[in-house]
Amino acid sequence: MHTRPSPRPRRTRDARSRTTARLTATLLTAAALLVSACSAGSPSTSVGGTVQAGLAALPRATPSALTPYYGQRLRWRDCGAPGFQCATMKAPLDYADPGAGTVRLAVSRKKATGTGKPLGSLLVNPGGPGGSAVGYLQQYAALGYPARIRARYDMVAVDPRGVARSEPVQCLDGRQMDAYTQTDVTPDDQRERKALVAADRTFAESCGTRSARLLRHVSTVEAARDMDILRAVLGDRKLNYVGASYGTFLGATYAGLFPGRVGRMVLDGAMDPSLDARRLNLDQTAGFETAFQAFAKDCVRHPGCPLGGKGATPAQVGDRLRAFFRALDARPVPAGDADGRRVGEALATTAVIVSMYDEASWAQLREALTSAMKEHDGTGLLALSDSYYERDANGHYSNLMMANAAVNCLDLPAAFSGPEEVEKALPAFEKASPVFGPGLAWASLNCTYWPVRATGEPHRITAEGAAPIVVVGTVRDPATPYRWARSLAAQLSSARLLTYDGDGHTAYGRGSACIDTAIDTYLLQGTPPAARKRCS
């Protein structure tokens, strides 16, 4: 998002949860390719200056060096709420050298509750990168998924390497994160530009210092390979999977590496692995503008919306929001925060962006803006921003943003080589979104100073030979634009595109009976939706 990592698809707002405003997108992540994942003869094409290599499938036979991992037994223990079990799984830190050390991954499950024929495990991932799949399972999925799904499947989650309970990437402490999240990402002069660069450098250097062992081994390809180990130790012949936002990239990567092991797979809020980081960020910037225009049209219909007013137009809503951001840049407002934080342009922009992920958040945003604009009270905006960063009342941050950067910066080369390139790209970003464009352009510097070189590159995923895969796209999705779903569905050889003509990020479990019925039927019966099925 505007905040380095930026609201790319960090699908870390639970795929269906409307109780928290976490997003699933932070600057996009595209696919990471390890040398072992693509053959020397992999085809590639050049589109718009971006080399698009194909993700090659791994050999079907499990290498002998990985046999101990595939043959391990998980020791389950009760954990969390009644019915949940947890275990720790081991995976090689480096798949190119499996004997060089291990990484410990947190796994959780809730066994199937019904008496019908079991369908095996259903692995879920809410996105990110950096979102805790275990937390998502225990807080929502194991109860929020339809009863008929939970009756037939063991609901399972694994926190990807570097995330939450799985040996998390660590960078800044709480006070340092407070300062980082308040950094001005729309610099007005050379001094502010230097401060932004310094903040990104400090963040990157702290990750390199505190997480040196992990930082080279948190790519999406490695996480996908970990999922195959989990499939095997759970005793499943094929992987059944529902991934949202970044979770779609993780799932598609798995399908590309192990097409013959794909079971029933749903990719909701799809990402396009064939795009480079700059194009991903630019597309997402346009996606947030699309979502904001929907909010603006809604705003002018609500008399209490502080950006609207009698006779206001959606264009005026945008103008007034930009003016409000400029005012906060000059004079932040108090927010009743115990640590003395005030809401300036950076935190306010985060609050607005997080609200674009779900139209159910618009009322809360209107209230927060009213308090800040009319009463000079930023409490509501700060609460929205804190939900995005997963900051609690004690000033502690989850490792979401740290893992997000670590995965994104390993999966793709940086969008920009330095501030000069950002300056040149500003007109394109401003055209994509007059409201969010400048901030999202500058936020794209977050990988420029990363201490570890990217191992991935843009590539296409075809997953030849995979069973039918359902790709879901929402027409006005802010974080994963609909065009990405169409592109991924065109790449995957067995994809069926399911379209939701609506607002918000992702579609499954968000109120469309048409979408939910199509996906539930596929998960239970294996029958994918009809080609080009469209729901509203």
Band the pLDDT of 53: cuts 50, 70, 90: confident
Q: Which helix (H) or strand (E) holds 256?
A: helix 246-257
What does the pLDDT read at residue 36?
Answer: 26
What does the pLDDT read at residue 115?
Answer: 81
CB atoms within 10 A of CB 213: 11
- Among 19-23, 74-78, 246-250, 359-363, whose mean pLDDT is lowest? 19-23
Please give the angle made by the CA atoms of 400, 392 and 175, to the nearest 5 degrees.
80
Domain count, the chain: 1
Provide the CATH number for the domain around residue 217. Answer: 3.40.50.1820
Catalytic, out of 477, 487, 494, 503: 477
What does the pLDDT read at residue 26?
Answer: 32
What does the pLDDT read at residue 310?
Answer: 78
Mean pLDDT value across residues 170-199: 97
Instruction: Indicate the average pLDDT of the chain.
Output: 90
Q: How far is CA 275 from CA 46, 53, 427, in A?
A: 11, 11, 20
In a domain, 230, yes or no: yes
Catalytic, out of 6, 121, 211, 245: 245
Are the CB atoms for 384 and 355 separated by under 8 Å?
yes
Band the pLDDT of 45: cuts 50, 70, 90: very low
Residue 179 has pLDDT above 70, yes or no: yes
pLDDT in tens, 354-403: 999 999 999 999 999 999 999 999 999 999 999 999 999 999 999 999 99
- Please state, in angstroms and rounded to a whole number, the distance separating the CA atoms of residues 333 and 166: 38
Q: How far is CA 53 from the centre of its chain?
A: 23
Residue 11 has pLDDT above 90, yes or no: no
Residue 118 has pLDDT above 70, yes or no: yes
pLDDT in tens, 440-474: 999 999 999 999 999 999 999 999 999 999 999 99
Give yes or no: 188 in active site.
no
Mean pLDDT value across residues 118-134: 96
| pTM of this structure | 0.91
Give yes or no: 477 in active site.
yes
- Please state, in angstroms and rounded to a whole number, the distance separating the CA atoms of residues 529 and 141: 22
What does the pLDDT read at residue 298?
Answer: 95
pLDDT in tens, 248-285: 999 999 999 999 999 999 999 999 999 999 999 999 99
Range of the domain at 14: 1-55+68-536
- Among 32-46, 130-144, 210-224, 294-308, whose mean pLDDT is lowest? 32-46
Instruction: Select from 190, 146, 449, 428 the least CA-distant residue to 286.
Output: 428
In a domain, 35, yes or no: yes
Q: Which helix (H) or strand (E) holds 155?
A: strand 154-158
Answer whether the bond into residue 5 is a cis peptide, omega within 30°. yes
- Residues composing the chain: 536
What does the pLDDT read at residue 144?
Answer: 87
What does the pLDDT read at residue 47?
Answer: 40
Mean pLDDT value across residues 326-351: 97
Bridge partners (DSSP) of residue 251 are none
In a domain, 221, yes or no: yes
In a domain, 443, yes or no: yes
Q: Which amino acid is at 431?
A: K
Give yes or no: 200 in active site.
no
In a domain, 62, yes or no: no
* Strand, coil or helix: 337: coil
